[in-house]
A and B are shown apart, each in its own frame.
Chain A
């Protein structure tokens, strides 16, 4: 088993944090992982992406030729990464920010209104947590408990954010379960 996921957006959207959460959750589950970030010198703005590879075997390259899953938090990320997704793969769209859809028909498309869902969960800053919840729920990479555990490990030392983030992750799982 090997799954490669690319998270992409602009700096400040919590793109790299989504990758940390998945990485920590998968490591606690006993999987091998590599987390490969790519970003500019800016704290905010600019483009940011990371690729997380999960496998039950040893992982050679942290760089993926073709991701199985792409999480596009903004439109330029969709444009950039859509062509690389493997046939039968999936793309998650942050539809709070853009309404354009992929032109490919051989991949699954999952639209997630991250901002609206995050507000319902109690904080408009939790869009990335809603998204990682939706991604894990839809792909089965992590259970809800494993995703929460991954978030807590990724944010060790920042315990004050645990409760709000957990609510947002639960919202993402519920959205996939109920479609709302």
Chain B
């Protein structure tokens, strides 16, 4: 049975959802603004007979996820921007070894140590691989507590389905905002498909190996990469997710994800009272980016306004999607600044007029 309605912050929500989704192995190293997540799991894992380890570092933690995953468990780590940078080597290894695993990034301001305030400037890192090599990780972008819960379930399912690490990309604001949330029922671990590749002792069967190094002279790495690419193509074809609101007769459509999308949503409501018909296109998977859906939409709308809590990252995927079909405007804010709906409304008005007072036109 689903849970009762509970009032929880975003970090606690991910922790509870992970446990219900069958995660029994959590490894992490503290960093603000996501410490409420390991705090929650440090107690909750004990209730369900799971394992919680505060590793000696981010690098140790992601490699513990690798180890738990290769042994067949549902494993997760979490951090915030600087800590996620440290985990990239392990994520690349997991991609090469085709290991499932869930990585939570509650983004904060960067680059470097930046600050502890909310930001969304890790889009490039999350969607373009992040570590070395030709690999991809599905990236899910929730926009509130209920979606944090639902997408945590999806993250574990996608990770197992494709044998690939999956990233959930939230931000410091989302981690701290409290909202009512209803959790799906606990997954019965016995119902999950058997992992016929997992390593848990080979008594009575042939030995297996899982590795990311292919030194052979017969093109082993070449073929391994082509195999991975075939998988990424399948994910691209099958796993795009997005939400649209009020796009039917919109004169302008805002493209935004996560917290930025929620702020834009209220801005759009406020503009409706002024007679401005603005719509919202919210990517839920950042990779694979819902390119065909946005392309189709851009054939029927004159202007696209991209709003980000960064100085311009997702806008590149919007340009790839829209091309010259519609005028593209961009407004973004650097790390640690939380805009109000009124500021986003000012951007949308400016983009409609094309006067360049807030944001700028992107020259495609």
Q: Cβ of A153: which chain B residues have Cβ within 8 Å of it?
A: 7
Asked whether any CB of chain B lies closer than 8 Å to the CB of A37, the reply is: yes
A38–B177 CA distance with the chains assembled, in angstroms: 9
Q: Are A41 and B340 in contact (CB under 8 A)?
A: no
Partner of A37, one of B5, B176, B340: B176
Q: Cβ of B178: which chain A residues have Cβ within 8 Å of it?
A: 20, 23, 33-35
Task: List residues 251-283 of chain B with CB under 8 A from any CB of chain A.
Answer: 259, 262-263, 265-267, 269-270
Q: How many residues of A contact B (CB 8 A)?
A: 20
- When C-beta atoms are compared, the residue in chain A nearest to B265 turns out to be A60
Q: Are B263 and A35 in contact (CB under 8 A)?
A: no
Asked whether any CB of chain B lies closer than 8 Å to the CB of A66, the reply is: yes
* Interface secondary structure of A, over-half rule: mixed
| Shortest Cβ distance from residue A39 to the other chain B in the assembled complex, whole angstroms | 9
Q: Tell me which of A20, A61, A153 has the highest count of chain B C-beta atoms within 10 A of its own C-beta.
A: A61
Asked whether any CB of chain A lies closer than 8 Å to the CB of B55, the reply is: no
Q: Cβ of A36: which chain B residues have Cβ within 8 Å of it?
A: 173, 176-177
Q: Are A61 and B180 in contact (CB under 8 A)?
A: no
| Shortest Cβ distance from residue A8 to the other chain B in the assembled complex, whole angstroms | 15
Asked whether any CB of chain A lies closer than 8 Å to the CB of B342, the reply is: yes
Q: Cβ of B342: which chain A residues have Cβ within 8 Å of it?
A: 65-66
| Shortest Cβ distance from residue A94 to the other chain B in the assembled complex, whole angstroms | 24
Q: Tell me which of B176, B179, B270 has the highest count of chain A C-beta atoms within 10 A of its own C-beta.
A: B179
Q: Are A65 and B177 in contact (CB under 8 A)?
A: no
Task: List residues 203-228 of chain B with CB under 8 A from any CB of chain A.
Answer: none
A34–B338 CA distance with the chains assembled, in angstroms: 16
The 3 lowest CB-CB distance pairs between A and B, nearest first, are A60-B265, A61-B266, A65-B342
9 extra A-B contacts, CB within 8 A, seeds A23-B178, A35-B179, A153-B7: A35-B9, A36-B173, A37-B177, A41-B116, A61-B263, A61-B341, A62-B177, A63-B341, A65-B342
17 contacts between A and B (CB under 8 A): A23-B178, A33-B179, A33-B180, A35-B9, A35-B177, A60-B262, A60-B266, A61-B341, A62-B179, A63-B263, A63-B341, A64-B341, A65-B266, A65-B270, A65-B341, A65-B342, A153-B7
Interface residue ranges, B against A (CB under 8 Å): 5, 7, 9, 32, 116, 173, 176-180, 259, 262-263, 265-267, 269-270, 338-343
